[in-house]
Structure 1
Amino acid sequence: MVKLIRGLIDSGALKKDVGEALLAQAQTEHIAAQQALRQAAAPVASAQPKVEPGDVRVPYVSQAVRDKIRDEVKGQIMAQARSEGWAAPNETPEWTKRIRVEGDVRLRNESRFYSDSNDNLGMVDWAAINNGNAYDINPNSNTVLPPQLNTRQDRKNQWKARARLGVIADITEQTSAGVRLATGNDDSPVSTTQTLGGGLEKKSVWLDQAWFSHQPADWLKITGGRFGNPFYSTDILFSNDLNFDGLAAQFNRKLSNERVSLFGTIGVIPLEYSSDKFPGNKGDKMSSETKWLLGAQVGANWKLDQTNSFRGAAAYYEFKNVAGKLSDPCYLYSGQDTACSTDWTRPAFMQRGNTLMLLRNIALNPLDPASTAQPQYLGLASKFRLLDLNARWETRIMNGYPLRLDANYIRNLDYDADEMFARANGGIVNNFDGSGGTDRSAFRSGGNAYMLQATFGKPAPSEKGEWNMMASYKYIEADSMPDGYNDSSFHLGGTNARGYTLGTTYAFDKNTTLSGRWMSSKEVHGQPYAIDLLQLELNTRF
């Protein structure tokens, strides 16, 4: 107000004497107001109660001040909690965001039906011989038959279960690691199915996966350890349960138009190492031998339009050092040898179908050659170098329902029946025409395999109400691939099999399905061996 009055006087809008009178009045009112304030405050101070001995004075803190102090303390505590990762409102610690758990549980009812026309003699369980003690093939020293496969007795309503539990950690944006456990009757690489029953005994759990991966670029990933199948393939070659040991590099990159992407894989897979202790009864041990799978694959995904897409891939797989070898002369009868030099060449795991050869060149006792025991192991007669061609076409028909068509062709480039007989030196033991002959003219095998499959509906139902129906046909000649790694259900695993599969799947809840499959198969060559398999399954995953 004082400044205003002085401004009016200076501008001439207010006469000087009138302005000075107004200034005097304003100053008087200001002094009176200050005195009134001091008088109003004096009674408050004098009204304070007298302090008695033992009294505690508590200063009054306004609500606004208390709120400010609370917010400041809370802010400091929460900042520390977030930086140390031990607490935050509506949050879990940071490290838990980089860990995820996944798994699945399956309950299966399985029935196996064998044809009455199956050959009931001579269906030897070669895998059992290789997994146990060698079998003496000399009828003069051994009158017991080798272990035999079941060929005619049905097995109905067998209940089986599978459970898998995995933990995956994202160490950084480029590096991950994972561990998975799974059930299984044994250490078979192609099945994690556990047969129930057994007197309600506890069931086994195995290390199914343990891997480490690094992604140096967004189009390249390198994985090492024990990991899932890195190749695009079907179960005619590699079982869906099969995991790989070793090292694999995968790439996937879109082209400039983004309708075509290229992918590929290179894998170095050790299949088996020779024992450091072989032979056990000698100081000089054998040199190191390793069986390998070397694989390379390249392919492309092509999105033709909104409803059609195509995927094609070509792969080359070389199984090194897996073929059997005839041993050096082996003097078992004298006790000089307890094992023969090529025992290590027998497969660590086999199913059935491949042509097999005797591995041991057993020296006969010159004092009693006719009665010399000849305990034998079996090895693969063929080498394996595979060309694998895959194709898939996906489209929509009948008001938008998905349809998927798959084709797979495999050729063993190393298949050579004459070379197999030469390597075995006459020791081929299976895959003959049934005439009783065991020479080259009676031998029946082949190096080709193929599969055709159609899937109508959602390929992998996961949401409630989704479904599919599928039909497939497989043809697998005896030496088209190693018999140890493909689907263990079709023809009960292995090669030398042909037949069809019909199946359907329905999701009755989220990630929970009911499915059924009927598989009918028989041999391609050799002794009659036909099997029908019915599988009803309840699956859920999380």
Structure 2
Amino acid sequence: MNFQPNRLAAMVAVTLALSVGQAMAAPAPAPSDNATVNLIRLLVKQGVLTQAQSDTLVRQAEAEAQQVRQAQAQRTAAAPAAAGGAVAGAAAGAAAGPDVQPGDVRVPYVPEIVRDQIRDEVKGEVMAQAKQENWASPNTFPDWVSRLKFSGDVRARDESHFFSDGNSNQVVDYNGLNRNGPYDVNSNTSHSLPPILNTRENRENRFRIRARLGVLATLPDDWSAGIRVATGSDDGPVSTSQTLGDDFEKKSIWLDQAWVRWKSPYHTDFTFGRAENPFMHTDLLFSDDLQMDGISAKVPNLKLTENTSLFGTLGAFPLEYGSDSWPSNSQDKGKSEDKWLFGGQLGSEWKLNDTNTLKGAVAYYRFDNIAGRRSSSCNLYQGEPACDTDWSQPEFMQKGNTVFLLRNIALDPNDPQDTPLPQYVGLASEFDLLDLNLQWDTETFNSMKLRLQGNYVRNLAYDEDKMNRRSDGQIVNNLDDDGHIQSGPNAWMVQTTYGRSLEMQDAGDWNVFAGYKYIQPDAMPDGFNDSTFHLGGTNAKGYYIGANYAINKLISVEGRWLSADEVYGDPLSINVFQLDLNAHF
């Protein structure tokens, strides 16, 4: 049993208090050197102490008793030698009784009500500590239980989407086209429209929930592991919200996190598995709900000076592995084509004074092999099961990126006009991102907190000439009337937050916030950023405002309004209102 010293001291104090209370109620016995020893032996018999711990305490008690006797002897030797003092001392000794010996300690009378009060207070404090630290009942739970820590949160939301009547009603859902496709783009043989996004009909007062439950296991030698499950309407990476309704059907639970971590002696944390985003970021580039699959090495806080520290992160994250048996209905299998995200970030935090902190970071993200590839000629009319670059379609998109038709489908020479042209789409641009983040925290009058944030992202790989060559002229969106690409490589945002607290930690905490975003179509992959602003993706610009209030330390409410329009192309104005009730435990 791993018995902590403060617990032992507390238990001994309780026993002594009870013993003293009983002893003082009866005539005081002569002082005995064996009282403490008997008490310790009793604790051994009850299983509270081991024999080794008992031996240590006995030696300590005897040493302390010896120190007390030596101190008393020194005080006796230094007593006044004057006759008057000697007579007074003799008189006092006689009054105390014939059995008083040099070195004895006189204990004044304590009323019984005071003794009971002291005993009850000490007992209550120690039992409260015992319950809090879980040592009141040793051996009740197995050892592994003490290594687990549970946490979770529940969010109940009322959400409304408002669309302008002037919006285009021809915005294709390319993510749905790929997932449900291929879609036949030959108007002579296709008798239905591709998937079209709702852009004009409002959707009001949708009740939604988010529930997450996680467990953290602390393991020996600075290892740890974590698992978390969460709700979600689908397996998309950027949202764990679940819409209610559906005739009271049960809701889905997904594996949101599963990781193993080692804290090395060199101030570096290594994490492998599915875990939270290890980079400093805003939701301009990565949604707050996005979890990353892969491996990362992070230096969270390396002190340079008393007020300056460095942090940095390296990571490799697989986005998609090529299928082992693609195409499934062909004897000739395609080669393995894997897609990856590689990232590196370096940042610093400066504590300028007691009320001002500046934090900044620069990051580079390379999205490897995610751009689409135009296929070689494929003879689908002859029964070929697929084209050789079908794998290059993105696994998940929201909206905004420039896309093109992947398949180079050969026409049936016997009926070229009526040859079906079932198509998938792929990303026209490559993505190598430079990401700059800056954050300043300060205090204003009455200790009010103020935070200013800025984030800038540029796609260094953006090149319209390469996009045209890669697509073989088959780009299907983000074009002007002359067929030229309307896009760009830049995105930025600014936000300010002001209030009693930046985090809702105590009852009565509050803050208000406001921000602006501007995201050109190919500044970043559209599949990973915030799914609320403009309902996700790129090619969006607009503002947002909101407020938070803490009902108590674990319950808070938040409301926000987001208003966004398109940057280029057909009109698409979307406003979103969200009212959240958040509970943490």
Q: Report the TM range for the smaller structure's normalisation.
A: 0.7 to 0.9
Relative to structure 1, the CA distance from residue 470 to residue 368 in structure 2 (aligned partners, 3 Å threshold; closer, same or farther) is same
Q: Partner of 1:446 in structure 2?
A: 488
* 8 Å Cα contact 2:167/2:200 also seen in 1: yes
1:455 to 491, 497, 518: 497
| SS state at 1:255 partner | strand
Q: Partner of 2:346 in structure 1?
A: 298
Which one of the candidate residues 129, 154, 165 is aligned to 1:116?
Answer: 165
Aligned to 1:533: 576
What aligned pairs does 1:137-536 form with structure 2 within 5 A after superposition?
137-217=185-265, 219-335=267-383, 337-433=384-480, 435=481, 437=482, 439-440=483-484, 443-457=485-499, 458-536=501-579
**CA distance in 1: counterparts of 2:213 and 2:47, whole angstroms:** 40
CA distance in structure 1 between the partners assigned to 2:187 and 2:475 by the alignment: 18
**Quick one: distance in 2 between partners of 1:101 and 1:468?**
28
Q: Structure 2 CA distance, aligned partners of 1:497 and 1:109?
A: 23
Q: Letter of the aligned partner of 1:489 in structure 2?
A: T
Please state if 1:73 is matched with 2:45. yes
Alpha carbons 1:78, 1:88 under 8 Å: kept: no
What is the TM-score when the length of structure 1 is the normalising length? 0.83
Q: Secondary structure at the match of 1:191?
A: coil
Distance 2:40 2:423 in 1: 88
* Structure 1 residue 535: Cα displacement: 0.2
Q: Is structure 2 residue 78 aligned with structure 1 residue 106?
A: no
Displacement after TM superposition at 1:288 (Å): 1.3
Secondary structure, in 3 states, of the residue corresponding to 2:45?
A: helix
Q: Following the alignment from structure 1 to structure 2, what is the Cα–Cα distance between the partners of residues 178 and 102?
A: 11
Aligned to 2:64: none
Residue 178 of structure 1: CA displacement?
Answer: 0.4
1:89 aligned residue (136, 150, 158): 136
- 1:8 paired residue number: none
Query: Is the Cα contact below 8 Å between 1:252 and 1:261 reproduced in 2?
Result: no
Structure 2: tracts of 5 or more residues without a match: 1-35, 53-133
- 1:316-370 C-alpha deviation (Å, 9 max, x unpaired): 00000000000111111111x1111111100111100000010000010000001
Q: Mean alpha-carbon deviation: is it higher for 255-264 or for 299-308?
A: 255-264
- Quote how far apart the aligned CAs of 1:90 are: 4.2
Q: 1:72 to 1:312 in 2, by over 3 A?
A: closer
Shift of 1:418: 1.4
User: Are 1:209 and 1:226, in contact at CA under 8 Å, matched by a contact in 2?
Assistant: yes
Name the CA distance, whole Å, in 2 between partners of 1:71 and 1:499: 70
Provide the C-alpha distance between the structure 1 equivalents of 2:311 and 2:37, rounded to a whole number of angstroms. Answer: 65
Separation in 1 of the partners of 2:537 and 2:305? 43
Question: For residues 430 and 90 of structure 1, do their structure 2 counterparts lie closer, same or farther at Cα, with a shift above 3 Å needed?
Answer: same
> Which structure 1 segments of 5+ residues have no match?
1-63, 81-86
Secondary structure at the aligned position of 1:450 is classed as strand
Q: Whole-Å Cα distance in 2 between the matches of residues 141 and 483 of structure 1?
A: 31
Q: CA deviation at 1:66?
A: 11
SS for the counterpart of 1:130 is: helix
Q: Is the CA contact 2:44–2:51 (under 8 Å) kept in the aligned structure 1?
A: no
Question: Taking every aligned residue pair, what percent have the same amino acid on both sides?
Answer: 51
Higher-Rg structure is 1
Distance 1:68 1:148, change over 3 A: closer
Q: Give the Cα–Cα distance (whole angstroms) in 1 for the partners of residues 253 and 228 of structure 2.
A: 10
Work out the CA distance in 1 between the residues paired with 2:465 and 2:168.
Answer: 27
Aligned letter for 2:147? R
1:480 partner letter: A
What is residue 29 of structure 1 aligned with on the other side? none
SS of 2:534's equivalent? helix
Residue 41 (structure 1) aligns with: none
Aligned with 2:380: secondary structure?
coil
The SS at the match of 2:214 is strand
Per the normalisation by structure 2, the TM-score is 0.77
Provide the rounded CA distance (Å) in 2 between the counterparts of 1:300 and 1:279: 48
The number of equivalent residue pairs is: 468
- Contact 2:304/2:310 (CA < 8 Å) preserved in 1? no
User: Is contact 2:405-2:426 (8 Å) kept?
Assistant: yes
- Distance in 2, matches of 1:256 and 1:342, equals 50
- Could you tell me whether the CA contact under 8 Å between 1:311 and 1:391 is conserved in 2? yes
Q: Name the CA shift for 1:140/1:90 in 2 (closer, same or farther; >3 Å).
A: same
Q: Give CA deviations for 1:20-75 in whole Å, capped at 9, x if unaligned.
A: xxxxxxxxxxxxxxxxxxxxxxxxxxxxxxxxxxxxxxxxxxxx999998655323
The alpha-carbon distance between structure 1 residues 173 and 308, as it changes in their structure 2 partners (threshold 3 A), is farther
Q: Which amino acid aligns with 1:378?
A: V
Q: Give the conservation status (yes or no) of the 8 Å contact 2:555–2:583.
A: yes
The whole-number CA distance in structure 1 between the counterparts of 2:48 and 2:476 is 80
Secondary structure of 2:146 counterpart:
helix
